[in-house]
């Protein structure tokens, strides 16, 4: 046993796209907490929780940081979200 505990926070959404969006929103809003692992956030259907869909890309970048974009992004990875104009 690692001595770590994981919090499972069930939040429902009407479809996979909105579930991923809600997962990203929840993760980013809590990212100021050192123990939040954005790369570990997944979503699944209630009836098949063993089939999970990744929310964030989480690839390792130079300097040890991780990509913060959605899992299926087509743009280059980045460690920071682009600013909105």
State the residue for tokens 């959605």. 70
- For residue 15, pLDDT beyond 90: yes
Does residue 4 lie within any of the structural domains?
no
Domain range for 76 is 13-85
Q: How confident is the model at residue 66 (pLDDT cuts 50, 70, 90)?
A: confident
Total structural domains in the chain?
1
Residue 7 domain-assigned? no
pLDDT exceeds cutoff 80 at 82: no
36 belongs to a structural domain: yes
pTM: 0.73
Helix (H, G, I), strand (E, B) or coil at 43: strand
User: Measuring CA to CA, which residue among 24, 82, 15 is closest to residue 54?
Assistant: 24
**What size, in residues, is the chain?**
85
**85 falls within a domain:** yes
Residue 24 dihedral angles phi and psi, to the nearest 5° = -65, -45
What mean pLDDT is predicted for residues 69-80? 90
């Amino acid at each position: 046993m690692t001595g770590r505990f994981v919090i499972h926070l069930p939040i429902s959404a009407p479809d996979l796209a909105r579930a991923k969006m809600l997962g990203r929103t929840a993760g980013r809003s809590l990212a100021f907490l050192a123990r939040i692992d954005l790369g570990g956030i997944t979503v699944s259907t209630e009836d098949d929780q063993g089939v999970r869909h990744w929310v964030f890309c989480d690839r390792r970048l130079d300097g040890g940081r991780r990509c913060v974009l959605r899992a299926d992004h087509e743009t280059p990875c980045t460690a920071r979200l682009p600013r909105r104009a």
